[in-house]
Amino acid sequence: MPPTTKEGQRAELHKTIWRIANDLRGSVDGWDFKSYVLGMLFYRFISENLTAYLNEQEREAGESDFDYAKLDDPAAEFGRKETVAEKGFYVLPSELFRNVRARAKNDANLNETLEKVFKHIEGSAVGTDSEDDLKGLFDDLDVNSSKLGNTVAKRNEKLVKLLDAIGDLPLGDFGDNAIDLFGDAYEFLMTMYASQAGKSGGEFFTPQEVSEVLAKIAVVGKTRVNKVYDPAAGSGSLLLKFAKVLGKENVGGFFGQEINLTTYNLARINMFLHDVNYEKFDLAHGDTLLDPAHWDDEPFEAIVSNPPYSIKWDGDANPLLINDPRFAPAGVLAPKSKADLAFTLHILSWLAVNGTAAIVEFPGVLYRGGAEQKIRKYLIDNNYVDAVIQLPPDLFFGTSIATCIIVLKKSKTDNAVLFVNASNEFKRVANKNKLTLDNQQHILGALEDRVDVEHFARLVSNEAIRDNGYGLGVSAYVATEDRRTALDIAGLNAEIEETLQRQTAHRTRVDAAVAKLIRESQSEGVTFARIGDIAQVGTGRSDRNQAVDGGDYPFYVRSQTVMQIDTYEFDEEAIVIPGEGGIGEIFHYANGKYALHQRAYRIHFTDERVDTKFAYYYFAAHFKQFIMQKAVSATVTSIRKPMITDFPFPIPPLDTQLEVVRILDQFTSLNAELEAELAARREQYRYFRDRLLTFDRASHD
């Protein structure tokens, strides 16, 4: 049954998009293939956007059955100039996404057709106000690249699949809802590509919940802002969060600069896909620190940024920079090897008197000495720092570092800095930490209240910060909460004693059962069979990115971790073996509904003579030895299907299998109690250690 809620539909759309993206790319690296998927999504968007706009115009004029897509090209030329002035681009009917797609399978020159279409779309803006916004926008969608195939025919085959896949996405009829879906689909794809790209992904995309809290900080107490700015704009996701927080109509203009050309193109596409008219955004390509593009547009009322961490720049090697009006007031330049505070000074210089800036910073800028300490002195002595927020670790793609946010203002109402320790404000989702809405609100509430909250927030005077050498590390001002659990040592000792008594009784029962089984077992009559002859062996279809924290079903991935997911693939009893990690040592016993990764294996027995739980224990005891004997090298880095299907498996009488399972289950229970005892002993040790090693400082003063 298809999902009916908006969130359910969005989740279903995301799964479809990611499956298509992975199915299409084949051998092309996902990071390289992003330009094709994202670019083709943009092509569909502007085609449907223009068609919907022109259809509405004509139907309001009385042409009730007008359909721009069915016009011939000469007839469509009428009104081109006016349409470009309004939309910023033009697409002829024959070159619309839906019409090119309809002809694609029979177009032997599809690559040339698409190349021509993209040039015509960009060319439609030449000589108009939108020329810079369209120029080079399709450069990264190279339809003649060998990445798509070694021959023209192979490339066109891939392009047909790409057109069909993007065309089949359930984005609905074009309208306000469709706009949301196009933008949401684009943001989702960028999130997934960034998560797979590691460090390079972190350089072009800020996680959505971090972007959202930065935008909220920059507009606290406001319902409308004139101009917003990001000097390291990346894919534009940070800027667009202002539209989500305030409403697109309440943002006067979006401004930004990005040094990477491909990322700059992604940012412009992102603006269009969120239906931000070309007249409302001005994104530039170039080096913000050395060649800023928006001198004539500053100051800005709200600035947000996640600049690259501690990159190199010219610094004092360029004698002109010390006289630059952005850097000169501080009297010193940021170090050549660490440009972090150069971005900070640039942002401060272009901040409006009534504005707020929220900047993600590398933690070193809070405490490093030398030029950076002098810049902090300038910021504090002039009362520009409004707040410093310590973020949790592992929020960003490509790094697990716990970054911070510095909030700047030019018109503060006090001479103090609010320090917020938000290091515990997160929820673990899949393999990253996330700022939930509750976490965001906790941070924003502290900024609005500006009062001391034990272990969370503290308002510190600028004078106290001066006395502390202008250090801005949050831990220097907000005491960390002691989260050690208070221990009832008498109660714990009683629990340990009870556990030991149960273990003694348990061992007696297990020893008796083992002795009985050994007496009754017979060495002959046990047959062996290949696993491939008595069981189904295969992998799943799910990807790790589909994992959902708190999902309804277990999700066995390719490593030893068991995650959760909202949909299941199998409902059965089976053994699950991860394809990688702990090779031959990690096994799961599945009994019920579950999902399986593409690189994890399931063994479902079809032979009624085999008890699956018995097989689970047998694999755990003997499988690793088997694969190591068969290995051609000293190490085995991953599991392959033949390793499992060729594994020789004994089939003793079923009642013997069940008795073995009963005994080993008892051992499992015993091990669990032993673990509980060890955990209790560790708590006991920590208790006595802390008691014995805690001294009263006052008695020695």
DSSP code per residue over 671-693: HHHHHHHHHHHHHHHHHHHHHHT
370 Rama sector, left if φ>0, alpha if ψ -120 to 50, beta otherwise = left
The answer to whether residues 228 and 301 touch, using CB atoms and an 8 Å cutoff, is: yes
198-476 and 493-676 share one fold? no
Pairing, β 385-390 against β 281-285: unpaired
Cis status of the peptide bond prior to 299, with omega within 30 of 0: yes
Three-class secondary structure of residue 197 per DSSP: helix
Superfamily name with CATH number, domain 493-676: DNA methylase specificity domains (3.90.220.20)
From residue 426, alpha-carbon distances to 35, 199, 436, 441 in Å are: 32, 21, 6, 12
**Do residues 350 and 395 touch, judged by C-beta distance below 8 A?**
no
Q: Within the chain, how many helices (H) and strands (E) appear?
A: 22, 19
| Other CB atoms within 10 A of residue 282 CB | 19
Closest CA to 233 of 188, 179, 168, 288: 288
Tokens of 221: 């107490």
Residue 584: predicted pLDDT:
74
According to the model, what pLDDT value does residue 496 have? 66
What is the CATH code of the structural domain delimited by 6-196?
1.20.1260.30
Instruction: Spell out the long-range contacts of 249-252 with Cβ–Cβ below 8 A and sequence spacing 24 or more.
Output: 250/223, 250/224, 250/225, 251/224, 251/225, 251/280, 252/224, 252/225, 252/226, 252/227, 252/280
Q: Are 539 and 593 in contact (CB under 8 A)?
A: no
Widest distance between CA atoms in the chain: 97
Cα 482–Cα 484–Cα 486 angle in degrees, nearest 5: 120
> How does DSSP classify residue 287?
-
d(CA 409, CA 221): 14
Give the homologous superfamily in CATH for domain 198-476: Vaccinia Virus protein VP39 (3.40.50.150)
Query: pTM for the whole thing?
Result: 0.68
User: Which H or E run contains 566?
Assistant: none
Distance between alpha carbon 588 and the CA centroid of its chain, in Å? 28
Domain boundaries, the chain: 6-196, 198-476, 493-676
Cα–Cα distance measured from residue 459 to residue 451, given in angstroms and rounded to the nearest whole number: 6
- What is the end-to-end Cα distance of the chain in Å, rounded? 72
d(CA 404, CA 391): 5
Give, in degrees to the nearest 5, the angle at Cα 205 between 384 and 260: 90
Helix (H, G, I), strand (E, B) or coil at 553: strand
CA angle 389, 394, 396 (to 5 degrees): 85
pLDDT averaged per 10 residues, the chain (length 701):
56 70 60 76 92 91 90 91 94 97 96 96 94 91 86 93 87 56 74 58 66 94 95 91 93 95 88 90 96 94 93 90 96 94 97 96 92 96 97 78 93 96 85 87 94 94 96 90 60 69 69 59 68 94 82 85 88 90 81 91 93 90 82 66 90 83 74 64 64 49 40
